[in-house]
Structure 1
Amino acid sequence: MGYYDDSESKEQYLPQKKRNPFFTVLIMIIVAVVSSAATVFFMTSDEFGLLEDRASTASSQTTTSSLPVKNAVAVKSDTTKAVDKALESVVGIYTYQGNQLFEGTTETGAGSGVIYKKSGNYAYIVTNHHVVEGASQVEVQVSEGTRLQAKVIGSDELTDLAVLRIDGSKVNSVAEFGDSSKLTLGEPAIAIGNPLGFLEGSVTEGIISSTNRTIPVDTNGDGQEDWQSEVIQTDASINPGNSGGALINIDGQVIGINSSKIAQDEVEGIGFAIPMNVAKPIIEDLEQDGKVDRPTLGVRIADLSQVNPVGRTETLKLPDSVQEGVVIIEVEGSSLAEKAGLKQYDVITKVNGDKISSDAELRRSIYESNGKKMSITYYRNGKEQTTTVSF
């Protein structure tokens, strides 16, 4: 036997013998498999990724070709049915300031509104007072790209409601009002509106968080409570631009007019809507008269909480048991209050048997009297008395 030389085949130094054909074929298969494995192992990452993509594609093609494909079917839930019913009646509202004839107008705000009536050549829309307040021109977008000039028929600051009128020829859908007195805690609530002023027809869903919430309102910005608004609380998202839009129930009925939210970093999901049963009589007054006529007592008053201890004891002569009420500072001549016998420094504690603790509560009680007789309980010189005011 000779020596091993790399320049020559090693096979020449092996004993020569007859090979089995089957063994030769087996060796060739093993070599081929090992070579293929080595090739895959030493592929670059890009090449391996490409291989995977091709494999996935091939697998997908195989699956697609072997299984039947059905067309997607739109699912109609109670929510989508409710939205379909109400969506077209909710519109975008855009306000402008300036003089169109001379310097031109500038868009200054945007909100939402609800078409609630179509009569003759006109359609009527309810929105928030704060949406159209101070505007020299108002436009309503009834469909994508179609804006119509609107006339403000009437507006009420206390309830934050306003009524607009537009050409009715472009209006095809009118909202259906629901009964907000029948709301139950936790039932679905769906808000539809125009958030941010350009996302018309946006829909958010939540629940009724409170059916009857009372929140203080400062209408003139002096930091003092002027009114107490009765509202529906919901966690359906209400964003800037949603004001004046619809809060609907699962039957697609408008149960409230979206009006505000608590906007603080630590607060989420607290929005408010004016209940439909509160809004309807205001809407009717605004449509017919352009304003809401409310009775007045003819007094200037202050909350009892603002009176110092000496004034409570020496001037008002109140017993210690009286901690809440409103003090009459001045009575107007020939007013309803004067006719009812009320005088300066009387302290009103109840109206129709309900406790009164603030100016806002007294105003609300008077306005809700609706022109009927009203019983007033008050203290004068430390003694409780009662009188009746006839409107």
Structure 2
Amino acid sequence: IQTDASISPGNSGGGLFNANGELIGIVNAKSSYSEAEGIGFAIPINTAMEIGRQLIENGSVARPALGVKIMDVTDAQTAQQLGVSTMGVYVVEVTKGSGADAAGVQAGDRVLAVDDTAVSDSSALKNYLKDKGIGDTVNLQVERDGKVLTLAVTLGSSAQ
């Protein structure tokens, strides 16, 4: 949540309340950029409550995960380091036993899309997955050796 309420640096972690006195967020940052004075940020309370619940019940916060490490290739130097010629999002490591491993995702695959949503960079992929749940299946479209493959990946837990 972005707010223009007066927030001092010491308020981080405190509550953000609406005009009715209802808790709507937990303050977590204040912009220190001189032209953005008076802008603060808070974690929405429904998000904070879910994180708190997971911490109490499990001792950690779990998010859906493909089970891969990915890298954005946006320049010739990075492309050369990975031994690829096309810019894009590449799988650099697959976690053994993960949904990606079971689906056949391999290091070196270039990610093109997830569920027909184009993947232009790693943040686009991560943003898409944050609205999914652990156990959901997504169709990951990858390019490997000049061929386009669609692999059904069951999302695991980031806490695993």
Could you tell me the TM-score, scaled by structure 1's length?
Answer: 0.35
1:384 aligns with 2:148: yes
Q: 57, 60, 63: which is aligned to 1:294? A: 63
Q: What is residue 281 of structure 1 aligned with on the other side? A: 50
Query: Who is 2:107 aligned against?
Result: 344
Residue by residue over 1:166-210, the C-alpha shift from the partner in whole angstroms, topping out at 9 and shown as x without a partner, is xxxxxxxxxxxxxxxxxxxxxxxxxxxxxxxxxxxxxxxxxxxxx
Identify if the C-alpha distance between structure 1 residues 245 and 331 changes in structure 2 by more than 3 Å, giving closer, same or farther. Answer: same
Task: Quickly say closer, same or farther: Cα 1:361–1:283, change in 2 above 3 A.
Answer: farther
* Alpha-carbon displacement from aligned partner over 1:312-360 (angstroms, at most 9, x marks no partner): 8xx5454xxxx6x421112233332121111121111322333434434
| Kept after mapping to 2: 8 A contact 1:350/1:378 | yes
2:34: which partner in 1? 265
Q: Which amino acid aligns with 1:253?
A: E
Aligned to 2:20: 251
| Letter of the 1:340 counterpart | A
3-state SS in 2 of match to 1:266: helix
8 Å contact kept, 1:340–1:387: yes
The alpha carbon displacement at 1:310 in A equals 9.2
| Residues 316 and 381 in structure 1, CA contact (< 8 A), matched pair in contact too | no
Secondary structure, in 3 states, of the residue corresponding to 2:50?
helix
Query: When the two structures are aligned, how many residues end up with a matched partner?
Result: 153
Which whole-Å CA distance do the structure 2 matches of 1:259 and 1:332 have between them? 32
Query: Which residue of structure 1 aligns with residue 158 of structure 2?
Result: none
CA positional deviation for 1:363: 3.8
- Name the SS for the 1:251 alignment partner: coil
| Contact 1:352–1:376, Cα closer than 8 Å, also in 2 | yes
Amino acid at match of 1:233: Q
Per the alignment, in what secondary structure is the counterpart of residue 237 of structure 1?
A: coil
Partner in structure 1 of residue 119 of structure 2: 356
Specify whether residues 369 and 245 from structure 1 end up closer, same or farther in structure 2 by C-alpha distance, changes over 3 A only.
same
CA RMSD of aligned residues (A): 2.8
Structure possessing the higher relative contact order (Cα contacts under 8 Å, 6 or more residues apart): 2
| 1-structure distance, mates of 2:60, 2:107 | 31
- Asked if the contact 1:317/1:381 (under 8 Å) is kept, the reply is no
Is residue 11 of structure 2 the alignment partner of residue 242 of structure 1?
yes
Equivalent position amino acid for 1:249 in 2: N
Counterpart secondary structure, 2:93: strand
SS at match of 1:278: helix
Pick closer, same or farther for the CA change 1:337–1:252 going to 2, 3 Å: same
Match of 1:326 in 2: 89
Contact 1:340–1:389 (8 Å) recurs in 2: yes
Determine the structure 2 residue equivalent to 1:139.
none
Distance in 1 (CA, whole Å) between partners of 2:110 and 2:92 is: 10
- State yes or no: 1:304 paired with 2:73: yes
Shift of 1:277: 2.9
- Displacement of 1:263 in angstroms is 0.5
Consecutive unaligned residues of structure 1, counting only runs of 5 or more, are 1-231
Q: With structure 2 as the length reference, what TM-score do the two structures score?
A: 0.77
CA deviation digits over 1:196-238, x for unaligned, max 9? xxxxxxxxxxxxxxxxxxxxxxxxxxxxxxxxxxxx1111122
* C-alpha distance 363-265 of structure 1, shift in aligned 2 (>3 A): same
Q: CA deviation at 1:378?
A: 2.1
Secondary structure at the counterpart of residue 5 of structure 2:
coil
